[in-house]
């Protein structure tokens, strides 16, 4: 690697963009939409602007223990489970009434309380469940199912304490249209991604990528550094090229999630934990419920107890990058990159949404790159 | 200039109705002081869409940080007028 990590994202194309970005009025939105492919994609994704998300820890229990798991950090793991179906029905009804249209059922392991997942689905039919995939969820629950993969089976045995994990996950979900396998890149498993993705591809499974984002105070060997971020970037790009159908990702996803700066530093996180404004958007509507059905605005985000300065989590990006539509509408390249990102996000998170071909075929810098390059030269 | 602001209010209402496909309301009947978030149910992505269209139309720059202030058609219209006067 030569030069600063920031230089990695300064392609020749970016130079032209930067000049246009410096002139705020260089591009009108209507001019950007004159490209029929851009216009079509814009019309496709904007139909989903009605999505209003909140997340719910379903139980404090899990059937495995993974090193670096964000759930078993902080206070939330010490709450008492509320397993009353009536209480969950009431919560979902209240959530619906306050405008929530999309739920994410997460920590610790939702498949251990399938009856509660089903109640959520009956009340709010759009959502996703984050699971380790060891216990299959009923097909009655029509949410997207995100199955976490942290490396090959040797690595899973070592850091998750589970035997034959990937084989077991594939056996349960390989013909399930709800399923998408989420490969989390840590600092240690980057070179295992190829064999895992190949196996998933051979079994007709879909894959998307996540980045290990350290819990607050974690300084273990899974945490990324500049070298590993660059390595992940190259690996993701090569895998996207090799498996263009089975991998749901885009070049801009790669840029956003392997950048030396965290998502918060790049895009200014819009979740309540980092956003004081309650007037509109996530700052107004998002809540992160614990398994006792309480919530606390001060810690509300999709991955509580993650170190914001290290957050590159795929769930965080899905909201944070998507919410920054306005700043990406600065020129055709950044707007196309944003459309690719949103198209990927909707494919990964919303059942029934079909991924389009990526509009960008190379990396595009985030809208504020000109500032980053300037900083790197100082 | 009350006439000028009235024209902007009417146009902002038109853009809002067209872009967000609002039903059961016309630009003339759109109450300019109704809270867009609480009472109309628009969210940040909707507001960003409207802001981009209005930026084009009036040749101004709407600052992303100003969104929290733009909670009614009247506030948006006054904001546009101020930017145009600068």
CATH (one of 3.30.70.1280, 1.10.1200.10, 3.40.50.300, 1.10.10.10) for B2-85 = 1.10.1200.10
pLDDT at B2 (0 to 100): 63
Cα B54 to its chain centre, rounded Å, is 8
Nearest chain B CA: its distance from A186 CA (Å): 32
Question: What's the CA gap between B61 and B45, in Å, rounded?
Answer: 17
Query: Residue A179, SS3?
Result: strand
What range does the domain containing A285 cover?
51-327
In DSSP terms, A207 is beta-bridged to A181, A247
Helix A251-258 × helix A226-242 angle, to 10°: 170
Question: What's the CA gap between B22 and B40, in Å, rounded?
Answer: 9
Supply the DSSP string of A127-155, one letter for each residue: EEEEE-SSSPPPTT--SEEEEEE-SSHHH
Cβ-based burial of A298 (10 A; exposed 0-12, middle 13-18, buried ≥19): exposed
ipTM: 0.88
DSSP state, A295?
A: B
Low-confidence ranges of chain A (pLDDT < 70): 1-25, 68, 300, 369-378
Beta-carbon neighbour count of residue A295 at 10 Å?
A: 18
pLDDT at A14 (0 to 100): 45
**First vs last C-alpha separation in chain B:** 15
Is there a contact between B49 and B19 (Cβ–Cβ < 8 Å)? Answer: yes
pLDDT at A303 (0 to 100): 76
Q: Is residue A356 part of a domain?
A: no
A49–B43 C-beta distance less than 8 A: yes
pLDDT at A16 (0 to 100): 44
Question: What's the CA gap between A208 and A366, in Å, rounded?
Answer: 21
CB < 8 Å to B49, chain A: 46, 49, 325
Is there a contact between A315 and A301 (Cβ–Cβ < 8 Å)? Answer: no
Cβ-based burial of A198 (10 A; exposed 0-12, middle 13-18, buried ≥19): middle
| H-only helix segments in A150-292 | 153-160, 165-173, 193-202, 226-242, 251-258, 263-267, 282-285
Edge-first strand order for the sheet with A144-149 is: A207-211, A179-185, A144-149, A127-131, A102-106, A53-57, A288-289
Question: What's the CA gap between A94 and A307, in Å, rounded?
Answer: 31
Query: CATH number, domain at A104?
Result: 3.20.20
pTM for the model: 0.89
Find, in chain B, the residue whose alpha carbon is nearest to that of A42: B49
In DSSP terms, A54 is beta-bridged to A103
CB < 8 Å to A24, chain B: 61
Distances (CA, A) of A18 to A131, A331, A373, A374, B61: 41, 9, 10, 12, 18
Cα A249 to its chain centre, rounded Å, is 11
pLDDT at A159 (0 to 100): 80
**Total number of domains constituting chain A:** 1
Spell out the residues 6+ positions from residue A130 whose beta carbon is closer than 8 angstroms to its own: A104, A105, A106, A107, A110, A146, A148, A182, A315
Q: Is the peptide bond before A306 cis (omega within 30 degrees of 0)?
A: no
pLDDT at B1 (0 to 100): 55
Identify from B37, B38, B50, B52 which residue to disrupt to test chain A contact, counting A C-beta atoms within 10 A and taking the largest count: B52
Average pLDDT score, chain A: 87
Nearest chain A CA: its distance from B4 CA (Å): 24
Average pLDDT score, chain B: 91
In DSSP terms, B50 is beta-bridged to none
Contact residues, B window 12-41, toward A, CB-based 8 Å cutoff: 37, 41
Low-confidence ranges of chain B (pLDDT < 50): none
Q: Is residue A42 part of a domain?
A: no
Question: What's the CA gap between A271 and A316, in Å, rounded?
Answer: 9
pLDDT at B27 (0 to 100): 94
Find, in chain A, the residue whose alpha carbon is nearest to that of B56: A28
Find, in chain B, the residue whose alpha carbon is nearest to that of A49: B45
Question: What's the CA gap between A19 and A370, in Å, rounded?
Answer: 9
């Amino acid at each position: 690697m030569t030069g600063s990590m920031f230089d990695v994202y300064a392609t020749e194309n970016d130079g032209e963009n930067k000049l246009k970005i410096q002139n705020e009025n260089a591009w009108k939105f209507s001019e950007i939409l004159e490209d029929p492919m851009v216009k079509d994609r814009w019309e496709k994704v904007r139909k989903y602007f009605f999505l209003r998300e909140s997340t719910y820890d379903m139980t404090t229990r899990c059937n495995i223990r993974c090193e670096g798991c964000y759930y078993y950090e902080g206070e939330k793991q010490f709450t008492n489970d509320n397993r009353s179906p009536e209480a969950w029905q009431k919560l979902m009804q209240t959530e619906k009434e306050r405008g929530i249209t999309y739920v994410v059922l997460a920590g610790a392991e939702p498949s251990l309380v399938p009856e509660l997942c089903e109640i959520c689905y009956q009340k709010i039919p759009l959502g996703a469940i984050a699971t380790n995939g060891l216990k299959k969820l009923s097909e009655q629950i029509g949410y997207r199912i995100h199955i976490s993969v942290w490396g090959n089976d040797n690595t899973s045995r070592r850091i998750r304490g589970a035997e034959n994990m990937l084989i077991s996950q594939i056996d349960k979900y390989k013909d399930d249209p709800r399923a998408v396998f989420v490969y989390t890149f840590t600092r240690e498993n980057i070179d295992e991604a190829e064999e895992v993705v190949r196996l998933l591809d051979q079994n007709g499974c879909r894959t998307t990528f996540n980045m290990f984002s350290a819990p607050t105070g974690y300084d273990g060997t899974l945490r990324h550094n500049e070298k590993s971020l660059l390595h992940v970037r190259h690996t993701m790009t090569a895998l996207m090229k090799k498996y263009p159908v089975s991998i749901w990702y885009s070049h801009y996803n790669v840029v956003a999630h392997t950048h030396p700066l965290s998502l918060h530093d790049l895009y200014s996180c819009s979740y309540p934990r980092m956003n004081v404004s309650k007037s509109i958007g996530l700052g107004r509507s998002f809540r992160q419920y614990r398994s006792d059905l309480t919530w606390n605005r001060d810690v509300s985000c999709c991955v509580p107890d993650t170190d914001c300065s290290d957050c590159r989590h795929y769930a965080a990006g899905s909201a944070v990058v998507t919410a920054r539509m306005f700043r990406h509408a600065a020129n055709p390249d950044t707007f196309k990159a944003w459309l690719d990102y949103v198209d990927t996000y909707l494919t990964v998170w919303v059942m029934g949404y079909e991924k389009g071909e990526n509009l960008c075929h190379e990396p595009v810098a985030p809208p504020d790159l000109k500032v980053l390059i300037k900083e790197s030269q100082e | 200039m009350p006439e000028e602001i009235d024209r902007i209010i009417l146009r902002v209402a038109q853009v809002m109705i067209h872009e967000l496909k609002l039903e059961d309301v016309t630009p003339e009947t759109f109450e300019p002081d109704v809270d867009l978030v609480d009472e109309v149910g628009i969210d940040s992505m909707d507001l960003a869409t409207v802001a981009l269209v209005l930026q084009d139309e009036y040749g101004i720059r709407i600052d992303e940080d100003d969104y929290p202030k733009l909670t009614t058609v009247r506030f948006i219209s006054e904001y546009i007028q101020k930017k145009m006067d600068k």
